[in-house]
Chains A and B, each alone.
Chain A
Amino acid sequence: MADIQIRAVRKSYGKTPTLHGIDLSFDSGEFVVILGPSGCGKSTLLRMIAGLEDITAGEIAIDGRVVNKLEPRERGCAMVFQNYALYPHMTVAGNIGYALKVAGVAKAERERRIAETAKIVGLQDYLERRPAALSGGQRQRVAMARAIIREPKVFLFDEPLSNLDAKLRVTMRAEIRKLHQRLSATSVFVTHDQVEAMTLADRLVVMNRGHVEQVGRPLDIYHRPASTFVASFIGAPAMNLFTTRIEVETATVRLDGAAIAIDPLVAHALRGREVIVGIRPEQCRLTTEGKGLPARIDFVEELGVGRVIHCEIAGEAFAAAVAEDADVSAGDTVWLSLPPEQLHFFDAETGRRIEFPLPGTDIAAARGSASTTQHTGVLS
């Protein structure tokens, strides 16, 4: 159990900066997932916590102790690698017990703890095998057992599930979560898979191009993405985004020929600003002909639990999730209603989320300037 403080941490390889000042704080016993596309610096950050990469600037403290200059073994971290990195010439028992052997633990004690740890991950019958004779899932378990046996204060996971097939990944995900509840060590888990991130995390850190985009509980991030990057990265299919202008007089957002009425306060606050409007595919509704936005379906994706229709609105690709029994097929024209309370607004220039009410808004004036005082959903 240990908390982790990351203060103004930077990393450059030569002259190329990869992390631009990261400030994060992980509580003791928390399960933190760092999510981001490849090349965003998430693995680098993890490896800096582990001690496998030098810290160019800033400091990292584990359990209140600055670890910048400490060797990996002195930091109390254990790490599970993406390709497992098992020792190919050692048996499963040898792999699991290697850390104890290095630490000089007596043989009897070592064997007792190997057996104990193997039981936790369900490998007790495989102790004499070599890694080459194990399946992907079993190798993953060995890698985890190797981390567990050291009783670390911090667990670091570097995309440990990405080499497994889809089904096994779901199982191992559940096991990692259970394991965390059982051991309650602070865990930092790096992934580019948003489903993994959403399901595992107590707290989610979304990274992009060496910056932290947003930190928060998974659902908060899903419901209130802090930027267009987060909005499009979290959620499948991705959030629909449009660059547009708000019409203050009618308090509407214009998309193609159609207009969506919005809160006049919001319209007033956004007057004259170029904004990006977003809506999640799950929030779009099919409506009757003549209402909402018309859209010609390009193709339909079957997901089993529902269908996703792909079409084009205002020159942008648009996706909408509909019920599995919805009568839609490619080539049809459907009418979509976009509930105004589900719209997200982002600054077109910075891509950052715009929250309402904006500070300093004169609410009375705003109401006066808007000609519509109630919104009825979708205007056509």
Chain B
Amino acid sequence: MIQRTPYADAFTYAIMVIGFLLLLGPFLVVLAGASQTMPQVNAVPFSFLPQGEFMKNASAAWARADLGTAMTNSLIMAALVTAGKVALSACTAFAIVFFRTPLKHVFFWSVFITLMLPLEVRVVPTYAVAADLFQPIKSILGFFGLEIGIEWNLLNSYAGLTLPLIATATGTFLYRQFFMTLPDELAEAARMDGSGSVRFFFDMLLPLSRTNMLALTTIMFVYGWNQYLWPLLMVTDPSYKTLMMSLLALLPSDNGIPDWNVTLAGSLIIMAPPVIVVAVLQRWFVRGLVSSEK
């Protein structure tokens, strides 16, 4: 579209630049503050110039909040959540798109509804189940006057950290939209060639949805990494602590030394992995969301 509207252009650019600065500002504070000494970071006015103290601050932060263990836990948790979501949503979409089952629409809409029920909304019942896996069965049996004595919970385990987060409507939809663009003949040709449905899934759908998978990996890794409420509920054992929980430990105590430079260095460390993932995958990220490579 070609149009000449210099004032409108200038106005929209101004809004864009302001928005960009608002987004970038806090990040610049972190970046600069993390490399300054304690007096520098507390100086008024604040200097946006980076200094050379980052490594020192970072190692102080690493030691103070035991970031090593938390980093491992966070990586494991984010990786499991991502892998689980990518795999599960591919299977769900495969079932919804390629199989004609009588209750297809019921399944489809039940997946759809979960979009409106993120973990934060259902956190209490989800916690209740995670704390006692057989609770729903017990309630049903209890209704009939029966009682069973099995106890099994997911507290303080990687399974507990990841399983309740894995079901995803977003991922299922992303795959579904892609699968629906594939011509029916592709599935039929594969059938004629003798491939069953499982084989079709692995030989055709998975390679074809590679860009989708990478896009989904990007989104879901960041999602898994940023989880705070759920780990906070599930984990009491410090050896299962995640990085988001360690953020609190990085803050200077109320009456202690105001070493914000260490806090900022620590938060920079915590920010790094998702930034790296996005940077590496961003090329596919856009392609997987926008177009279907055919």
A residues within 8 Å of B by Cβ? 50-52, 71-73, 77-79, 81-89, 98-99, 102-103, 132, 146, 150
A81 and B204: CB pair below 8 A?
no
Q: Using Cβ atoms and an 8 Å threshold, which residues of chain A touch B204?
A: 87, 89
Pairs A-B, 6 closest by C-beta atoms: A85-B185, A73-B194, A85-B189, A99-B193, A102-B194, A81-B185
Nearest opposing residue in chain B for A82, CB measure:
B185
A198 to B193, CA, bound (A): 30
**Interface-centre pick from B188, B189, B192, B203 (highest chain A CB count, 10 A):** B192
Q: Using Cβ atoms and an 8 Å threshold, which residues of chain A touch B193?
A: 73, 98-99, 102, 146, 150
A77 to B188, CA, bound (A): 13
Min CB–CB distance B84 → chain A (angstroms): 25
A263 to B149, CA, bound (A): 100
Nearest opposing residue in chain B for A147, CB measure:
B192
Nearest opposing residue in chain B for A158, CB measure:
B185
**Interface-centre pick from A50, A79, A89 (highest chain B CB count, 10 A):** A89
A85 to B200, CA, bound (A): 14
B194 and A103: CB pair below 8 A?
yes
Q: Using Cβ atoms and an 8 Å threshold, which residues of chain A touch B122?
A: none
Min CB–CB distance B152 → chain A (angstroms): 42
- Could you list some 25 contacts between A and B, CB below 8 A? A51-B191, A52-B191, A71-B191, A72-B191, A72-B192, A73-B191, A77-B192, A78-B192, A81-B188, A82-B185, A83-B185, A84-B185, A85-B183, A86-B189, A87-B186, A87-B189, A87-B190, A89-B204, A98-B190, A99-B192, A99-B194, A102-B194, A103-B194, A146-B193, A150-B193
B222 within 8 A of A: no
A265 to B192, CA, bound (A): 56
A81 and B207: CB pair below 8 A?
no
B186 and A85: CB pair below 8 A?
yes
B residues within 8 Å of A by Cβ? 183, 185-186, 188-195, 199, 203-204, 207-208, 294
A175 to B61, CA, bound (A): 74
B192 and A79: CB pair below 8 A?
yes
A325 to B63, CA, bound (A): 101
B192 and A73: CB pair below 8 A?
yes
A81 and B194: CB pair below 8 A?
no
Q: Using Cβ atoms and an 8 Å threshold, which residues of chain B touch A146?
A: 189, 193
A145 to B191, CA, bound (A): 16
Q: Using Cβ atoms and an 8 Å threshold, which residues of chain A touch B192?
A: 50, 52, 72-73, 77-79, 99
- Please pick, from A83, A89, A132, the residue contacting B183 in the complex, using a CB distance under 8 A: A83
Min CB–CB distance A100 → chain B (angstroms): 9
A150 to B193, CA, bound (A): 8
Q: Identify whether the interface residues of B are mostly helix, strand, loop, or mixed.
A: helix
Q: Using Cβ atoms and an 8 Å threshold, which residues of chain A touch B199?
A: 102
Q: Using Cβ atoms and an 8 Å threshold, which residues of chain A touch B207?
A: 89
Min CB–CB distance A91 → chain B (angstroms): 12
Q: Using Cβ atoms and an 8 Å threshold, which residues of chain B touch A77?
A: 192
A52 and B188: CB pair below 8 A?
yes
Nearest opposing residue in chain A for B191, CB measure:
A72
Nearest opposing residue in chain A for B209, CB measure:
A89
Nearest opposing residue in chain B for A94, CB measure:
B203
Q: Using Cβ atoms and an 8 Å threshold, which residues of chain A touch B294?
A: 88, 132
Q: Using Cβ atoms and an 8 Å threshold, which residues of chain A touch B208?
A: 88-89
Q: Using Cβ atoms and an 8 Å threshold, which residues of chain A touch B188?
A: 52, 79, 81, 85
Q: Using Cβ atoms and an 8 Å threshold, which residues of chain A touch B186?
A: 85, 87
**Interface-centre pick from B183, B190, B191, B193 (highest chain A CB count, 10 A):** B193
Q: Using Cβ atoms and an 8 Å threshold, which residues of chain B touch A85?
A: 183, 185-186, 188-189
Min CB–CB distance A321 → chain B (angstroms): 39
Min CB–CB distance B284 → chain A (angstroms): 15
Min CB–CB distance B213 → chain A (angstroms): 13
**Interface-centre pick from A83, A85, A132, A150 (highest chain B CB count, 10 A):** A85
Q: Using Cβ atoms and an 8 Å threshold, which residues of chain A touch B191?
A: 51-52, 71-73
A79 to B190, CA, bound (A): 11
Nearest opposing residue in chain B for A87, CB measure:
B204
Min CB–CB distance B200 → chain A (angstroms): 10
Q: Using Cβ atoms and an 8 Å threshold, which residues of chain B touch A132?
A: 294
Min CB–CB distance A3 → chain B (angstroms): 20
B189 and A81: CB pair below 8 A?
yes
Q: Using Cβ atoms and an 8 Å threshold, which residues of chain A touch B194?
A: 72-73, 99, 102-103
Nearest opposing residue in chain B for A77, CB measure:
B192
**Interface-centre pick from A86, A87, A103, A150 (highest chain B CB count, 10 A):** A87
Q: Using Cβ atoms and an 8 Å threshold, which residues of chain A touch B185?
A: 81-85
A23 to B47, CA, bound (A): 89
Nearest opposing residue in chain B for A81, CB measure:
B185
A52 to B193, CA, bound (A): 12
Apart from A98-B195, A98-B203, A132-B294, what 12 extra A-B contacts exist at CB < 8 Å? A73-B192, A73-B193, A79-B189, A81-B185, A82-B185, A85-B183, A85-B188, A87-B186, A87-B190, A89-B204, A102-B194, A102-B195
Min CB–CB distance A266 → chain B (angstroms): 50
**Interface-centre pick from B188, B195, B208, B294 (highest chain A CB count, 10 A):** B188
A298 to B139, CA, bound (A): 85
A309 to B195, CA, bound (A): 54
Nearest opposing residue in chain A for B210, CB measure:
A89
Q: Using Cβ atoms and an 8 Å threshold, which residues of chain B touch A102?
A: 193-195, 199
A327 to B193, CA, bound (A): 58
A51 to B199, CA, bound (A): 18
A82 to B189, CA, bound (A): 11
A330 to B75, CA, bound (A): 83
Q: Using Cβ atoms and an 8 Å threshold, which residues of chain B touch A83?
A: 183, 185
Q: Using Cβ atoms and an 8 Å threshold, which residues of chain A touch B190?
A: 87, 98
Min CB–CB distance A104 → chain B (angstroms): 10
Min CB–CB distance A79 → chain B (angstroms): 5
A76 to B189, CA, bound (A): 14
Q: Using Cβ atoms and an 8 Å threshold, which residues of chain B touch A84?
A: 185
A73 to B191, CA, bound (A): 7
